[in-house]
């Protein structure tokens, strides 16, 4: 009898105590962060926030380290290692309150899922008590981190989503973004179409995801404005669709010569194969979103040469990282040498992130949250994207340029920028290749 | 009208692929009553195996496929012998969690090695059409899928219905105790069934890899298709699975034809639900289990 | 030992037990006063998942309805919250009320086809229902298709309020299952689970009893969905209607011990603490989680509470009316 009562009591109390024991928390992976130094009652999420007493700057990065979006993280570890080594060893850290202290990054995996993304960002803020929160790639990463930013009033930097969909959760007070803009993106795609001789009939093959939805509104607006184009829209399809028979028949019957598709990689692969089966390869086939990675594109059948899409960064941008003093081309070449494959575009974002972080923290000179936020908002720094400043939407708008996959010299396929209307720093006199079915 | 015929034909062809995805699950489901959540991930595992061996052994897809089948049978022995046989008698829920666990482990290990990259088995039939007219197209890939799937399902049906081995399996499915009394080792029979299921799943893996391509985490997407196909056909009925595949494929494509491309998948699922309401045991389901 | 003596010691035990439970509830309710932000954050998750797990337990463990489709109700709760607060500028209380109405209506509608199915057919049928709802939401312009909605009003909810809400949900879910099982319906459920045919002969209304449990669980999961998304604040159809929710419910209930009231409590705590701990192993977390699930089931097929009960005969919440010791 007695033993049972004790067991009952133990069960209840263990439960209550284990929650209370979360106060300190455990050390985050990767870096030896001192999560355990917290006393009880330190409610870091309350107004103003308490700056933890640490000998280093801690940046918490909620990122898709597993799941479908982990493809974006291909270059991240490489960049983080290189940049932290450069900042902490070559430059001796960042000067905060008159002392140079090192920068550290702690990661939390968002599993490409908003539910986990929220838990990851919350954990970074409340358990690791980071000084700056990062949330990256697609609205899953950016919008959840921005919500945490507002809730806990912590300076937060997000990147890798369409500006339009990120702003849908705004206006933000504590989040700053580095996002591309869908208007710019589609504008440069349309510019490709105007450079090819066609009948001006544009077939839309857009899914219901955020890119497809924003893309549809944007492209119809731009084409209306320009005139001379006629839109054929079979309706949005679902990303889980296994077959494009209906859509392709419709486009073929309407004699479409330009296809604007926005879909993930498996759908792009399936769609491209089915176009070949229907023996219907229009003069322009633009498949956005699914064709970012050379290795994936190389597996498409038939050969993907001539497909156009919007690249979010390219090594041919004539700019350098202000932190490394190295050109975009040089960094990408170094990555290719180290990994033996075509560089991923997310490399540019990761490098620019550290250019910006170093600049912001140096100008702030403190980890006090309002000061860090103020420094973010007055950013004006040269990166591998060129000079970036914060616009009225709290976004450092970065370009998205019309790009084509062509036969490469080092790799089977390589990117070629064919339209840079919205970003006139890049040379775009390259010829446009018309896609072929015959291999 | 042309598009209607085209949609119908494409739907039937796609249905053949769906049947190939579902047939392995149908065996496991019908014989053990096991809700095998790992089915989709195992199917994708076989796609990865084929891809690895094609690269390793000079591009022969037949050799790679043969090795994959052997390997998947080994996986089946391990999976059934060491994991599922131990929990299958404890009710539905523990088995559910174990197969969930196996599914999660498989797709994350694949992701560990292959990242989030997209893969595809090289398909020599891409771009070739058997029938290619203005009003109807039959791609060679799709016809190949349907043909292979038909052959596999007929062969499996023959094995289950006509051979001694099949009779033992069916006996174990019908009544475990009676089968045990008749000297049938049900644990061992279950292992055979799982191996047979995984070997046929590799056919699904091959066809999916050639037609759609795959990611390390594509498995869950194919799992719901497999389950849909199996329940609609009726548990334990191999031919029912084939019928289920065709119904799902046709329902999706005709759904796309009538209601637009967005609801293609939705119409497929709703058709399954309606048919299940009308025939709660599935179309050809006659085998009942406790 | 005399009859009276046994009774009095049983009362004493009940007294001790309820005293401990009340003390624990008070200690938990006061957590915002002494716990850190992280503790509160974890507490929100533990009690929300407890509510989910306990309801899945009511379905699978007591009513024999093994559902893989109740993520549909989480998604419905999430989208009710998003639509009410974002599209119509309503409040959170309004979201809860409307979500209850929708949940009851929706579960009534789907119960007609779904209750014709039994066993594994039911399991798969519920999943197909959930996938259909997912596909519907992805193609619904009103909820911004697959692009998701930002629940901006939820950005500034104080964490303590969410915590207290989650705690209340968790406690009510336990109490609800406890009282259902102690009621006449509980007896019917047990009879039904143990021998459906005999129970029906004895006058147990199978359909009605199951339907009531289904309604209660669905509604409660919907409410929990609203609360969960007040925390997550960004809803997309895929994750909101994702099978992940069902996986976590199965994990919590089966690991904790299916068919026991204590099981989901233990399971929810283990699940949430484990997920938090696994943030230390980015990229490897799901492999570890899956392995733990498999290993625990191999060692203790009836879950942790089942193993404890088998060894010690201990139950915190006894739903049996004890005769004599």
CA dihedral A84, A86, A89, A94 (to 10 degrees): -70
CB distance B244 to B283 below 8 Å = yes
Q: Which of A20-29, A81-90, A374-383, B38-47 has the lowest mean pLDDT?
A: A20-29
User: Chain-wide mean pLDDT for chain B?
Assistant: 89
- Nearest CB partner across the interface for B116, out of A70, A236, A244: A70
* Nearest C-alpha neighbor of A162 from the set A310, A360, A351: A310
pLDDT at residue B38, as a whole number: 95
Q: Is the Cβ pair A210, C146 closer than 8 Å?
A: yes
SS3 of residue A149 by DSSP: helix
Name the band, by pLDDT with cuts 50, 70 and 90, for residue A43. very low
Mutate to test the interface with B, among C147, C257, C287 (most CBs of B within 10 A): C287
Name the band, by pLDDT with cuts 50, 70 and 90, for residue A344. very high
How many CA atoms are closer than 13 Å to the CA of A349, on its beta-carbon side? Answer: 30
Q: Is the Cβ pair A5, C154 closer than 8 Å?
A: no
For residue A254, the chain B residues in CB contact (below 8 A) are: none
Q: Which of B154-163, B281-290, C42-51 has the lowest mean pLDDT?
A: B281-290
Beta-carbon contacts of B77 under 8 Å, excluding residues fewer than 6 positions away, are: B191, B194, B195
- Nearest CB partner across the interface for B90, out of C136, C291, C301: C301
Q: Is the Cβ pair B129, A246 closer than 8 Å?
A: no
| C66 domain residue, yes or no | yes
Q: Which residue of A has its CA nearest to C40?
A: A19
- The answer to whether A28 faces chain C, any CB pair under 8 Å, is yes
Mutate to test the interface with C, among B39, B98, B255 (most CBs of C within 10 A): B98
Cβ neighbour number for residue C277 with a 10 Å cutoff: 13
DSSP state of A260: E
CB distance C72 to C107 below 8 Å = no
| C113 domain residue, yes or no | yes
| C7 domain residue, yes or no | no
φ, ψ of residue A285 in degrees (nearest 5) = -120, 105
Q: Please name the residue ranges forming H helices in A127-228.
A: 138-152, 163-167, 182-195, 210-226
CB distance B285 to B234 below 8 Å = yes
Tell me the whole-structure pTM to 2 decimals. 0.91
Tokens of B221: 């997407």
Q: Which residue has the higher pLDDT, A391 or B288?
A: A391
Q: Please name the residue ranges forming H helices in A63-195.
A: 76-85, 114-126, 138-152, 163-167, 182-195
| Burial of residue B136, with CB atoms counted within 10 A of its CB: 0-12 exposed, 13-18 middle, 19 or more buried | middle
Q: Which residue of B has its CA nearest to C256?
A: B94
| C3 domain residue, yes or no | no
Q: Which residue has the higher pLDDT, A13 or A243?
A: A243
Number of domains in chain C: 1
Tokens of A365: 């000179």
Residue-wise pLDDT for C244-266, tens only, equals 999 999 999 999 999 899 999 99
pLDDT at residue B164, as a whole number: 85
pLDDT at B290 over 50: no
- Nearest CB partner across the interface for C37, out of A44, A114, A144: A44
Give the separation between CA C112 and CA C20, rounded to whole angstroms. 43
DSSP string of B74-130, one letter each residue: HHHHHIIIIIIHHHGGG-HHHHHHHHHHHHHHHHHHHHHHHTT--B----TTTT-EE
pLDDT at residue A437, as a whole number: 54
For residue B269, the chain C residues in CB contact (below 8 A) are: 128, 131-132, 135
Q: For A12-24, what is the HEC assignment?
A: HHHHHHHHHHHHC
- The answer to whether A206 faces chain C, any CB pair under 8 Å, is no
Q: Which domains does chain B have, with CATH numbers?
A: 2-278 (1.10.3470)
pLDDT at C80 over 90: yes
Q: Which residue has the higher pLDDT, A32 or A287?
A: A287
- Nearest CB partner across the interface for C39, out of A22, A65, A143: A22
- The answer to whether C300 faces chain B, any CB pair under 8 Å, is no
Residue-wise pLDDT for A193-204, tens only, equals 998 989 989 999
Mean pLDDT of A210-226: 92
Give the separation between CA B249 and CA B257, rounded to whole angstroms. 12
φ, ψ of residue A233 in degrees (nearest 5) = -120, 105
pLDDT at residue B97, as a whole number: 92
Name the band, by pLDDT with cuts 50, 70 and 90, for residue B131. confident
| C250 domain residue, yes or no | no
* Rg of the Cα atoms in chain B: 19
pLDDT at residue A430, as a whole number: 80
Q: Whose structure tokens read 């219907």?
A: A280
- Nearest CB partner across the interface for A19, out of C9, C31, C279: C31
pLDDT at A35 over 60: no
Give the separation between CA B63 and CA A331, rounded to whole angstroms. 42
pLDDT at C108 over 60: yes
How do beta strands A103-109 and A57-63 pair? parallel
Query: Could you tell me which chains touch chain A, where touching means 3 or more CB pairs under 8 A?
Result: B, C
- The answer to whether A6 faces chain C, any CB pair under 8 Å, is no
| C19 domain residue, yes or no | no
* Nearest C-alpha neighbor of C85 from the set C145, C151, C148, C149: C151
Mutate to test the interface with B, among A112, A239, A242 (most CBs of B within 10 A): A242
| C64 domain residue, yes or no | yes
pLDDT at residue B198, as a whole number: 95
Q: Is the N-terminal amide bond of A302 cis, ω within 30° of 0?
A: yes
CB distance A285 to B232 below 8 Å = no
Q: Is the Cβ pair C287, B104 closer than 8 Å?
A: yes
Give the separation between CA A414 and CA A407, rounded to whole angstroms. 6
pLDDT at residue C186, as a whole number: 84
* Nearest C-alpha neighbor of A182 from the set A146, A148, A144, A221: A221
> Range of C54's domain?
34-242
Q: Chain B residues contacting A, CB < 8 Å?
A: 2-3, 6-7, 10, 14, 108, 111, 115-120, 122-123, 126-127, 129, 132, 137, 139, 141, 211-215, 217-218, 221, 252-253, 256-257, 260-266
CB distance B252 to B267 below 8 Å = yes
Distance from CA of B204 to the nearest CA of C (A): 21
- Nearest CB partner across the interface for A169, out of C36, C152, C157: C152
| Burial of residue A355, with CB atoms counted within 10 A of its CB: 0-12 exposed, 13-18 middle, 19 or more buried | buried
pLDDT at residue B156, as a whole number: 92
Q: Is the Cβ pair C35, A19 closer than 8 Å?
A: yes
Mean pLDDT of A306-332: 93
In the stretch 127-186 of chain A, residues with CB closer than 8 A to chain C read: 127, 139-140, 143-144, 147, 150-152, 165, 168-170
SS3 of residue A403 by DSSP: strand
For residue A280, the chain B residues in CB contact (below 8 A) are: none
Beta-carbon contacts of A296 under 8 Å, excluding residues fewer than 6 positions away, are: A265, A290, B117, B118
- The answer to whether C276 faces chain B, any CB pair under 8 Å, is no
| C21 domain residue, yes or no | no
Strand partners, A107: A61
Residue-wise pLDDT for A50-102, tens only, equals 556 789 999 999 999 999 999 999 999 999 999 999 999 999 999 999 899 99
- Nearest CB partner across the interface for C297, out of B94, B104, B230: B94
Q: Which of A85-89, A306-310, B160-164, B227-231 has the lowest mean pLDDT?
A: B160-164
φ, ψ of residue A217 in degrees (nearest 5) = -60, -40
Mean pLDDT of A278-296: 91
Give the separation between CA C189 and CA C173, rounded to whole angstroms. 17
For residue B280, the chain C residues in CB contact (below 8 A) are: 116-118, 121
Q: Is the Cβ pair A437, B127 closer than 8 Å?
A: yes
Distance from CA of A230 to the nearest CA of B (A): 20
Tokens of A333: 């070449």
Give the separation between CA B269 and CA C113, rounded to whole angstroms. 13
Distance from CA of A154 to the nearest CA of C (A): 13
Mean pLDDT of C33-59: 94
Residue-wise pLDDT for B136-191, tens only, equals 889 999 999 999 999 999 999 999 888 888 888 888 777 777 777 777 788 888 99
Give the separation between CA A115 and CA A99, rounded to whole angstroms. 39
pLDDT at A422 over 90: no
| Burial of residue A392, with CB atoms counted within 10 A of its CB: 0-12 exposed, 13-18 middle, 19 or more buried | exposed
User: Chain-wide mean pLDDT for chain A?
Assistant: 86
DSSP string of A291-307, one letter each residue: T--HHHHHT-SS--TT-
Q: Is the Cβ pair C280, A70 closer than 8 Å?
A: no
Q: For C46-109, what is the HEC assignment?
A: HHHHHHHHHHHHHHHHHCCCCCCCCHHHHHHHHHHHHHHHHHCCCCHHHHHHHHHHHHHHHHHH
* Nearest C-alpha neighbor of A263 from the set A237, A302, A283: A237
- The answer to whether C37 faces chain A, any CB pair under 8 Å, is yes
Contacts 24+ apart (CB under 8 A), A246-251: A246/B3, A246/B7, A246/B253, A246/B256, A246/B257, A246/B261, A246/B264, A247/A205, A247/B261, A248/A274, A248/A275, A248/A278, A248/A280, A249/A278, A249/B2, A249/B3, A249/B6, A250/A203, A250/B3, A251/A203, A251/A205, A251/A280, A251/A282
* Nearest C-alpha neighbor of C65 from the set C165, C196, C157, C166: C196
Distance from CA of B152 to the nearest CA of C (A): 25
């Amino acid at each position: 009898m007695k033993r049972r009562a004790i067991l009952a009591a133990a069960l209840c109390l263990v439960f209550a105590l284990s929650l209370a024991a979360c106060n300190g928390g455990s050390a985050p992976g990767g870096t030896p962060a001192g999560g355990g130094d917290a006393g009880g009652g330190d409610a870091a999420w309350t107004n103003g926030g308490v700056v933890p007493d640490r000998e280093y700057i801690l940046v918490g990065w909620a990122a898709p380290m597993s799941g479908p979006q982990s493809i974006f993280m291909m270059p991240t570890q490489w960049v983080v290692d290189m940049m932290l080594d450069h900042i902490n060893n070559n430059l001796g850290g960042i000067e905060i309150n008159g002392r140079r202290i090192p920068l550290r990054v702690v990661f939390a995996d968002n599993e490409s899922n908003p539910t986990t993304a929220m838990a990851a960002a919350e954990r970074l803020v409340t358990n690791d008590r980071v000084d700056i929160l990062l949330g990256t790639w697609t609205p899953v990463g950016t919008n959840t981190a921005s919500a945490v930013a507002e809730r806990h009033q912590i300076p937060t930097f997000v990147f890798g989503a369409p500006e339009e969909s990120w702003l849908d959760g705004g206006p933000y007070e504590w989040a700053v973004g580095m996002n591309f803009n869908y208007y710019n993106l589609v504008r440069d795609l349309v510019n490709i179409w105007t450079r090819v001789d066609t009948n001006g009939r544009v077939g839309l093959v857009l899914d219901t995801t955020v890119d497809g939805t924003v893309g549809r509104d944007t492209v119809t607006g731009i084409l209306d404005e320009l005139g001379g184009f006629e839109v054929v829209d079979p309706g949005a399809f679902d990303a889980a669709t296994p077959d494009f028979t209906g859509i392709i028949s419709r486009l073929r019957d309407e004699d479409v010569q330009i296809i604007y598709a926005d879909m993930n990689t498996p759908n792009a692969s399936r769609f491209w194969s089915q176009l070949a089966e229907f023996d219907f390869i229009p003069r322009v086939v633009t498949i956005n979103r699914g064709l970012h990675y050379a290795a994936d594109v190389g597996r498409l059948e038939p050969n993907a040469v001539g497909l156009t899409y919007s690249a979010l960064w390219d090594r041919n941008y004539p700019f350098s990282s202000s932190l490394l003093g190295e050109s975009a081309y040089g960094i990408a070449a170094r990555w290719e040498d180290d990994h033996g494959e075509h560089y991923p575009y997310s490399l540019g974002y990761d490098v620019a992130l550290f250019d910006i972080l170093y600049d912001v923290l140096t100008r702030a000179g403190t980890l006090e949250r309002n000061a860090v936020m103020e420094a973010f908002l007055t950013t004006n720094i040269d990166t591998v994207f060129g000079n970036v400043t914060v616009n009225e939407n709290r976004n450092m708008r970065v370009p998205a340029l019309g790009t084509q996959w062509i036969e490469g010299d080092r790799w089977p396929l390589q990117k070629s920028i064919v339209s840079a209307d919205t970003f006139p720093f890049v040379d775009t006199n390259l010829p446009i290749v018309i896609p072929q079915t015959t291999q | 009208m042309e598009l209607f015929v085209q949609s119908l034909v494409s739907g039937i062809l796609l249905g053949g692929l769906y049947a190939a995805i579902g047939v392995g699950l149908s065996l496991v489901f019908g014989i053990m009553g096991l809700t095998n959540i790992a089915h989709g991930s195992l199917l994708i595992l076989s796609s990865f195996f084929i891809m690895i061996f094609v690269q390793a052994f000079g591009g022969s897809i037949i050799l790679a496929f043969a090795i994959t089948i052997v390997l998947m049978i080994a996986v089946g022995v391990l999976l059934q012998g060491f994991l599922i046989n131990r929990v299958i008698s404890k009710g539905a829920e523990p088995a559910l969690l174990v197969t969930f666990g196996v599914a999660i482990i498989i797709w994350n290990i694949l992701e560990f090695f292959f990242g989030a990259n997209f893969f595809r088995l090289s398909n020599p039939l891409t771009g070739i059409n058997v029938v290619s007219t203005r009003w109807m197209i039959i791609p060679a890939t799709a016809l190949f899928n349907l043909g292979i799937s038909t052959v596999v399902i007929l062969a499996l049906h023959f094995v289950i219905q006509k051979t001694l081995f099949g009779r033992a399996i069916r006996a174990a499915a019908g009544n475990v105790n009676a089968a045990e009394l008749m000297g049938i080792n049900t644990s061992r029979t279950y292992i055979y069934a799982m191996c047979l299921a995984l070997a046929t799943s590799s056919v699904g893996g091959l066809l999916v890899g050639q037609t759609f391509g795959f990611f390390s985490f594509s498995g869950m997407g194919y799992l719901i298709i497999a389950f849909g196909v199996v329940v609609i056909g009726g548990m334990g009925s191999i031919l029912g699975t084939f019928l289920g595949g065709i119904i799902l494929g046709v329902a999706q494509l005709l759904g796309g034809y009538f209601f637009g491309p967005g609801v293609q998948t939705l119409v497929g699922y709703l058709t399954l639900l309606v048919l299940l309401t009308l025939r709660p045991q599935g179309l050809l389901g006659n085998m009942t289990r406790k | 030992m005399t009859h009276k003596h046994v009774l009095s010691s049983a009362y004493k035990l009940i007294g001790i037990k309820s005293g401990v439970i009340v003390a624990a509830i008070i200690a938990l309710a006061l957590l915002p006063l002494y716990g850190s932000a992280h503790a509160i954050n974890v507490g929100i998750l533990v009690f929300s998942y407890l509510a989910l797990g306990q309801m899945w337990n009511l379905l699978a463990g007591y009513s024999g309805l093994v559902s893989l489709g109740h993520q549909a109700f989480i998604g419905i709760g999430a989208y009710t919250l998003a639509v009410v607060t974002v599209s119509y500028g309503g409040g959170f209380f309004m979201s809860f009320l409307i979500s209850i109405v929708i949940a009851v209506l929706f579960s009534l509608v789907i119960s007609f086809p779904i209750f014709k199915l039994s066993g594994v057919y039911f399991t798969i049928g519920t999943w197909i229902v959930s996938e259909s709802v997912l596909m519907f939401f992805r193609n619904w312009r009103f909820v911004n298709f697959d692009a998701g909605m930002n629940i901006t009003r939820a950005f500034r909810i104080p964490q303590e309020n969410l915590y207290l809400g989650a705690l209340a949900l968790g406690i009510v879910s336990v109490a609800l299952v406890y009282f259902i099982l102690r009621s006449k319906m509980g007896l019917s459920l047990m009879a039904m689970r143990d021998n459906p045919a005999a129970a029906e002969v004895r006058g147990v209304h199978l359909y009605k009893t199951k339907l009531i449990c289904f309604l209660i669980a669905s509604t409660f999961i919907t409410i929990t969905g609203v609360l969960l998304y007040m925390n997550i604040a960004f809803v997309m159809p895929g994750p909101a209607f994702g099978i992940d929710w069902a996986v976590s419910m199965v994990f919590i209930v089966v690991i904790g011990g299916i068919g026991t009231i204590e099981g989901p409590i233990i399971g929810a705590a283990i699940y949430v603490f484990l997920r938090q701990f696994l943030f230390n192993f980015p990229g490897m977390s799901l492999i570890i989680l899956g392995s733990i699930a498999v290993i625990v089931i191999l060692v203790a097929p009836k879950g942790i509470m089942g193993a404890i009960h088998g060894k010690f005969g201990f139950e915190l919440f006894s739903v049996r009316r004890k005769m004599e010791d």
